[in-house]
Amino acid sequence: PGRFIDNMVEFAHKVEKLGKDDPRRITHSIKVGLTLSLVSLLYYCRPIYGGFGSSTMSAILTVVVVFEFSVGATLGKGFNRALATFLAGALGFGAHHLATLAGDKGHPAILWFFIFLLAAVASFVRFFPGIKARYDYGVLMFILTFCLVSVSGYREDEILELAHKRVSTIAIGCLTCVIMSIFVFPVWAGLDLHKLIAHNIEKQADFLQGFGELYFGTKRDMDMSWLHGYRSVLNSMTAEEAMANFARWEPAHGKFRFGHPWKQYLKISGMTRQCAYRLEALSNSITSEMKAQKPSEFKKIITLSCMEISIELGKALQEISSAIKNMTYPFTVSTHIVNAKTAAEDLHRALEGITLNNTNILDDVMPAVSVTSLLLEIIECTKNIAE
């Protein structure tokens, strides 16, 4: 029993952490609960509207499947579902009609053939990367609805009546979802993406600003966890692509128009990732530096310039990050870049003048220099985008 209580306490902590990390998760859960119970009320409206009854089921199904965390995802799925149901319903009706013309014997054979053909083609279509990203769910719904309509043994007028009910309940389901997700504590995928990108760049700025002090030993605290904040960007590509896909469905909100250039965010993020690979290499040299305790003569020569480079670059990135956040043009960035460039030139000059006896230590400065040039490139690119 003691162990059971321990498990429960641990579980409670996990739940608390999930909720605290992003309180919108709790709001989302309540929203889903509300929407579902709202839609299920439809069932009890029978006397008034005269016959939703069992068609309520498809409204419930729609809500369960369509309601997603962000507005964009919900809109995308709702659109997919509506379009796919409509198209497949029409095609299925056509197939059914054709099969009826063939008489009682030909009927199953023709339907069988149609189903096989459509299911195979649609399954293959799902492998196209572009369709997989945006219309995967729609294609699934298409196969499903087509099968349901064409196989059902109803007469044609029955199908039409059923279709009418089905379409209206699905529309109600979709609309409820869309309204709930847009007007009740909305979660915008676009805004999230925007914040994520700015956050990633800021983490890199933190790293660069802290790097100098840590590496050249003016500060030696061992708590380096804050330095590794930039690591989250390394594997975030898939999540970002999904967010950008969702964001494309979203209407204008806050400072974003419909048709905001979301793809630019992916480009910026790609460059940020390139930069993160370099930071990863830098951070490795910190760890190896921690082991070798005594600072060498060579290191003293490069300390000043290197620290300036990394701090100026950190400032530049910080600038870019807050420019993205506020959607302004980063005016002062170029100053920082120029400063960093000057420091880099100083460093080159200093290096040309000296003679080296203990080359091992060069491990230390070279990554910094190569990162410098890379960062410069990145910053140039970011400037070009200038939303």
CB of 43 to its own copies, least distance (A): 5
Binding mask 135-154 for its own copies (x = CB under 8 A): -----x--xx--xx--xxx-
- Residue 256's DSSP bridge partners are 253
- Residue nearer to its own copies on the CB measure, 117 or 133: 117
- Residue nearer to its own copies on the CB measure, 84 or 323: 84
Q: How many residues bind its own copies (CB under 8 A)?
A: 78
Is the distance from CB of 134 to CB of 21 less than 8 angstroms? no
* 3-state SS, residue 158: helix
Is the distance from CB of 283 to CB of 227 less than 8 angstroms? yes
102 binds its own copies (CB under 8 A): no
3-state secondary structure 291-337: HCCCCCHHHHHHHHHHHHHHHHHHHHHHHHHHHHHHCCCCCCHHHHH
Residue with tokens 């309180």: 23
Q: Point out which span in 73-81, 84-92, 229-237, 251-259 binds its own copies (CB under 8 A).
A: 229-237
- Residue 253's DSSP bridge partners are 256
Selected from 160, 277, 300, 335, the binder of its own copies by CB under 8 A is 277
Selected from 94, 217, 295, 367, the binder of its own copies by CB under 8 A is 367
Q: Point out which span in 82-90, 252-260, 271-279, 323-331 binds its own copies (CB under 8 A).
A: 271-279
Angle (nearest 5°) at CA 269 between 74 and 243: 5
Is the distance from CB of 177 to CB of 67 less than 8 angstroms? yes
Nearest residue to 274 via CA among 333, 306, 234: 234
Q: How many CB atoms lie within 10 A of CB 248?
A: 18
Selected from 10, 102, 124, 300, the binder of its own copies by CB under 8 A is 124
Phi, psi of 338 (to 5 degrees): -60, -45
- Residue nearer to its own copies on the CB measure, 332 or 370: 370
381 binds its own copies (CB under 8 A): no
CB of 377 to its own copies, least distance (A): 10
CB of 255 to its own copies, least distance (A): 28
CB of 6 to its own copies, least distance (A): 18
Helix (H) or strand (E) holding 201: helix 189-215
How far apart CA 197 and CA 153 sit, in angstroms, is 53
Restricting to residues 233-252, name those near its own copies by CB under 8 A: 234-235, 237-239
Restricting to residues 3-62, name those near its own copies by CB under 8 A: 14-15, 18, 25-26, 28-30, 32-34, 36-37, 40-41, 43-44, 53-54, 56-57, 60-61
Is the distance from CB of 56 to CB of 43 less than 8 angstroms? yes
* 3-state SS, residue 125: helix
CB of 30 to its own copies, least distance (A): 5
116 binds its own copies (CB under 8 A): yes
How far apart CA 303 and CA 308 sit, in angstroms, is 8
Selected from 160, 252, 327, 354, the binder of its own copies by CB under 8 A is 354
Restricting to residues 64-83, name those near its own copies by CB under 8 A: 64-65
Selected from 16, 97, 101, 123, the binder of its own copies by CB under 8 A is 123
Restricting to residues 294-353, name those near its own copies by CB under 8 A: 348, 351-352
CB of 327 to its own copies, least distance (A): 28
